[in-house]
Amino acid sequence: AKTTGRNALCFFDPEMQAAVNANAAVSSELHIALRKQEFVLHYQPQVDSQGRVNGVEALLRWHHPKRGLVMPTDFIPMAEETGLILPLGRWALATACEQLAAWAAWPQAADLSIAVNVSVRQFRHPDFVDQVMAEIRRTGIKPQHLKLELTETLLADGMDVTLARMGTLKALGVTLALDDFGMGYSSLSLLKRLPLDQLKIDKSFVAEVLTDPADAAISRTIITLAHSLNLKVVAEGVETQAQQDFLVAEGCDQFQGFLFSAPLPIEALEAYLMAQSPP
Residues engaged in binding Ca ion (CB under 5 A): 117, 149, 179-180, 202, 208, 212, 215
Q: Of ligand C2E, Ca ion, none, which one does residue 154 interact with (CB within 5 to 8 Å by kind)?
A: none
Asked if 143 touches ligand C2E (CB under 6 A), the answer is: no
Which among 235, 277, 226 is positioned nearest to 254, based on CA atoms? 235
Residue 111 or 212: the one with the smaller Cβ distance to Ca ion is 212
Cβ count within 10 A of residue 50: 7
Using the minimum distance from each CB to ligand C2E, give the nearer residue, 143 or 257. Answer: 257
Q: How far is the CB of 25 from ligand C2E (least distance, A)?
A: 22
Shortest Å, Cβ 122 to Ca ion: 13
Rounded Cα distance, 249 and 244, in Å = 9
At 94, which helix (H) or strand (E)?
helix 85-103
Beta-strand pair 39-48/254-255? antiparallel
**Which strand (E) or helix (H) includes residue 79?**
helix 76-82
* Residue among 78, 72, 79 nearest 42 (CA): 72
Q: CB nearer to ligand C2E: give 193 or 239.
A: 239
Spatial contact of 40 and 253, defined as CB atoms under 8 Å apart:
no
Alpha carbon dihedral 193, 196, 201, 202, in 10-degree steps, equals -90
Site map for ligand C2E, 145-184, x if CB under 6 A? ----------------------------------xx----
Q: Are 23 and 77 in contact (CB under 8 A)?
A: no
Binding mask 233-262 for ligand C2E (x = CB under 6 A): ---xxxx-----------------xx----
- Contact code string over 29-58 relative to ligand C2E, x by CB under 6 A: ---------------x--------------
What residue 212 binds from ligand C2E, Ca ion, none (CB within 5 to 8 A, per partner kind)? Ca ion
